[in-house]
Amino acid sequence: MSRLVVVSNRVPAPKPGGASAGGLAVALSGAMEARGGVWFGWSGDTAPHDAPEPEEARLIVKDKVTYALVDLTERDLEDYYSGFSNRMLWPLFHYRMDLTGFTRVTLGGYYRVNKLFSKLLRKMVEPDDIVWVHDYHLVPLAADLRAAGLKNRMGFYLHIPFPPPDILTVLPNHADIVRGLAAYDVIGFQTPYDVENFETYLRREKLGRRLSGHRFVVHGRAVTVMALPVGIETEAFAKTAQASEKNALVRRAEESLVGRSLIIGVDRLDYSKGIAERIQAFESFLTLDTEWRNRCTYLQITPKSRSDVAEYAQMEREVAELAGRVNGAHADLDWTPIRYVNRAIGRNALAGLYRLARVGLVTPLRDGMNLVAKEFVASQKPKDPGVLLLSRFAGAAHELDGALITNPYDIDGTAGAIARALEMPLDERADRWTRMYERIRNHDVAWWCDSFLKALEQPANDGAEVRPI
Ligand code: F6P
Would you say how long the chain is, in residues?
A: 469
- CA of residue 213 to ligand 1 center, whole Å: 30
pLDDT class of 468 with cuts at 50, 70, 90: very low
Q: Mean of the pLDDT values across residues 401-408?
A: 98
Which residue, 405, 365, 317, is CA-closest to 160?
365
Residues lining ligand 1, CB < 6 A? 9-10, 22-25, 135, 159-160, 305-306
C-alpha distances out from residue 174 to 162, 163, 181, Å: 12, 12, 11
Contacts of 28 (CB under 8 A, 6+ apart): 6, 8, 39, 134, 445, 449
**DSSP one-letter code for 207:** S
pLDDT class of 469 with cuts at 50, 70, 90: very low
Catalytic residue, chosen from 79, 367, 443, 444, is 367
Give the pLDDT of residue 462.
56
Pocket test for ligand 1, best of 7, 11, 135 (most atoms within 8 A of CB): 135
- CA of residue 136 to ligand 1 center, whole Å: 9
Is the torsion defined by CA of 422, 425, 430, 436 positive or negative?
negative
Q: Mean of the pLDDT values across residues 137-159?
A: 98
- CA of residue 23 to ligand 1 center, whole Å: 6
- CA of residue 68 to ligand 1 center, whole Å: 18
Catalytic residue, chosen from 159, 194, 443, 444, is 159
pLDDT class of 21 with cuts at 50, 70, 90: low
The 10s digit of each residue's pLDDT in 227-264 is 999 999 999 999 999 999 999 999 999 999 999 999 99
Kindly tell me if the per-residue pLDDT of 143 is higher than 60.
yes
Is 367 an annotated catalytic residue?
yes
Is 159 an annotated catalytic residue?
yes
pLDDT class of 19 with cuts at 50, 70, 90: very low
Which residue, 369, 398, 390, is CA-closest to 27?
369
How far apart, in whole angstroms, are the C-alpha atoms of residue 201 and residue 164?
7
The 10s digit of each residue's pLDDT in 266-313 is 999 999 999 999 999 999 999 999 999 999 999 999 999 998 899 999
Pocket test for ligand 1, best of 159, 305, 311 (most atoms within 8 A of CB): 159
Q: Is 427 exposed, middle or buried (0-12, 13-18, 19+ CB in 10 A)?
A: exposed
Atom 7 of ligand 1: nearest residue by CA position:
22
Task: Assess contact for 469 and 183: CB atoms under 8 A.
Answer: yes
The 10s digit of each residue's pLDDT in 77-93 is 999 999 999 999 999 99
Q: Is 81 exposed, middle or buried (0-12, 13-18, 19+ CB in 10 A)?
A: buried
